[in-house]
Amino acid sequence: MLRRRWRWAVVALGLAVLVALPALVEALPARDGDASAAQLRDEVLASGDVAFSGYAISTGGLTLPVSDALTGVADLLSDQTSLRAWYRGADDWRVDVVSATGETGTHRDATGTWTWDYADQTASRGTLPPLALPTAPDLLPSALGRRLLSEATDDELSRIAPARVAGVDALGLRYTPSDAAASVSAVDVWVDPGTGLPLRVVVRGGDTATPALDTRFLDLSLATPDAATTDFSPPPGADVRSDQDLTDLDPGRQARADLPGTLADLGRRSFDGVPEQIGVYGSGITVLAVSALPGRAAAGLRDQLATTPGAVVDDLGVRIAAGPLALMVAGTSTRDGGRGTYLLAGTVTLDALATAARQIQEAAR
């Protein structure tokens, strides 16, 4: 009897070790390298051609006000998302999101994306607009790391301790934005020293200990996936739709000021295909977007933001912060007595939003 109990105790211990093994491996000390912070950034930016397949999880720590337009984004940034990826190149990849309610796959080709909802048998075609809401593939460490470091300057970069990520001794890199308007306090990226591939990205905002976003690979293979895995064509009988381009949204027939060239000390940038009524300001991870709002949409969003805990309501409008993300609905009066309403959103402080709103009001007078 004693021998049988001992045998089952060994089996139980073995199962416990197997279950805990990934966490134990991650906790092992990681070897560091002598690459400089600037060298690591350059290797990350050059990693877009590195083929891989892997499994990742992304955990968001933000609480966004939920509306019909923002439900998907709110889920991505406030919950845990499981991602399975096959990457052959920048124009040839597939990312599946697996959840308790089903599975959705996004396939990228040379001219756009197909998103396939297995449960609803619905295929949506996207055409790579210049402005788009974030989707699950944007949260892969490989894609997010390259995007966030794309404009980081040498002075904003430093080395941090290495870490074990997906079985790799990954080198640590920190990006600390220098803009006074920045609401992101730091972005930490752990990089595969052999390929420059970002393996983990942690975005931090303010003084809170909870990251705004933490995305990492749990499993990774650098073998090139088979082309048949990433290829997609809608099957017979599928419901085929087109994704909406945010730049096609009609701002409505309302009076609006000409947007200034600078807001909150952030310079305005121009992008092909972005309408003039949408202003994009800043660089790196410190970005502010400003867009005119139709009256009906403005009223509903203003009311929703005003009921959000911590909302600031004053003569400028209503503004909220969700971690490093900030939103504001601001009103303006024009010289001819007209009224206009703007949505301001970005990774800036609430004070920066207030400054930008005042400057828009001044431009309207």
Please check the confidence at residue 108 and state whether its pLDDT lies above 50.
yes
Please check the confidence at residue 18 and state whether its pLDDT lies above 70.
no
Please check the confidence at residue 336 and state whether its pLDDT lies above 70.
no
Instruction: Note the pLDDT of residue 25.
Output: 46
Q: What is the mean pLDDT of residues 145-157?
A: 96
Instruction: Note the pLDDT of residue 333.
Output: 65
Q: Which of 3-17, 29-43, 283-297 has the lowest mean pLDDT?
A: 3-17
Q: For 66-102, how does the pLDDT look when each residue is reduced to its tens digit (9 = 90+)?
A: 555 555 555 666 678 899 999 999 999 999 998 767 7
Distance from the first to the final alpha carbon of the chain: 90
Is the pTM of the predicted complex or chain greater than 0.85? no
Please check the confidence at residue 294 and state whether its pLDDT lies above 90.
no
Q: What is the mean pLDDT of residues 335-339?
A: 57
